[in-house]
Amino acid sequence: MTATVLVLNAGSSSLKWDLFAAPALTSLKSGVVERIGEEGGVPDHAAALAAVLDELGEDRPAVVGHRIVHGGRSFSGPALLDEAAVAEVERLVPLAPLHNPAALAGVRAVAERLPDVPQVGAFDTAFHQTMPEAAARYALPAWCEAEHGVRRYGFHGTSHQYVSRVAGEFLRETAGRSPAELKLVTLHLGNGCSAAAVSGGVCVDTSMGLTPLEGLVMGTRTGDLDPAAVTYLQRSAGLSAEEMDRLLNRESGLKGLCGDNDVRRVLQRAADGDADAELALDVYCRRIRKYVGAYAAALGRLDGVVFTAGVGENAAEIRRRVCEPLAGFGIALDAAANARRSKEVRRLDAGGPVAVLVVPTDEEGEIARQAWGLAGVG
């Protein structure tokens, strides 16, 4: 029987899963169990996993890989989820109170049903742990970091790691460029958005910080904001800490600017002449361009810009709005290539010094690769 890797992405009320055949790590099947703990759904994550295993039938996995959002400073790569690692993930719950508990529930469910199967955690923060201290630290008193862990961790790491590696391989094969010498800016643009500066496959800076709120404008998140705006609004509008948190994370970004967080809808409204939607797109794309420019400076040279995730892969107009004003950086977009739809890795530039690529992300495949490589079952 073919060895398989089961990848689990546990949310508070859902369990997404993908099964991969090893060692090629080709996807065999996938699915999602929803409404966990809700009326009409299964009671808990253990029951959700049981439903997944029932669907898998005889395909008992050789290893299980888990997406874990926050690994703090403790995990700079994938980790076998032994007792000590699980305890550390639990200790980090205050840094990701909505995400880490769900992942832990998935880990415990697997341990109960498949006690002899190794489990591996792949951390959203791990790829960014190579950032130098100058990029990771906030200009706060040292005790804020030492006693409370307030520093920049970054997120979407499995996506940035995957697309930067694939982009490097693509440019080596098509342009004879050495991946070890490439300086790339990777742009993960979905409902959540982040940028990363990657030098020779190593992350040296990223836009998200202590939480996923920092950085680019997103569907419902502000991205970068003067911290004094928070305390000002709390005093002026009488908002509680919880209300302020909701405002920044769920009611801002594109939604706050124009009432829609779906980029497709915002683009259509702008095309129809809606001024609020046009402003929202201008703010959104301007922030992306600022990060591309900043990271070109941090890298010392720019060899490529890589678009990925739902918006980055599919929204040609967003790519155009980002790239065309950056001509002074050596970015020249080919309009026909940019307009072409494809699920393949592709190059969109007109042959300038900076490659513009679309690399469809595969976070589940990346987690499977990390889990299979670490578990040593192959």
Residues acting as catalytic residues: 124
- The token duo for 253 is 């970004």
Distances (CA, A) of 285 to 99, 264, 279, 295, 338: 28, 14, 10, 15, 16
Using DSSP's 3-state secondary structure scheme, residue 273 falls into coil
Distance CA 127, CA 12 (A): 24
Looking up tokens 């990657």 gives: 198
**DSSP single-letter state for residue 92:** T
Residue 68: count of CB within 10 angstroms of its CB: 31
- What is the total residue count of the chain? 378
Distances (CA, A) of 287 to 98, 291, 308: 27, 6, 17
- The token duo for 224 is 């970068």
Residue type, 327: A
Tell me the β-bridge partners of 21: 4, 26
Distance CA 247, CA 220 (A): 9
Please report which helix (H) or strand (E) contains residue 85, including its range: helix 83-91
Residue type, 273: G
Q: Which residues contact residue 121 at a Cβ distance below 8 angstroms, ignoring those fewer than 6 apart?
A: 65, 66, 68, 71, 75, 78, 79, 80, 81, 85, 89, 103, 107
Q: Nearest 5 degrees, angle CA 67-CA 70-CA 71?
A: 95
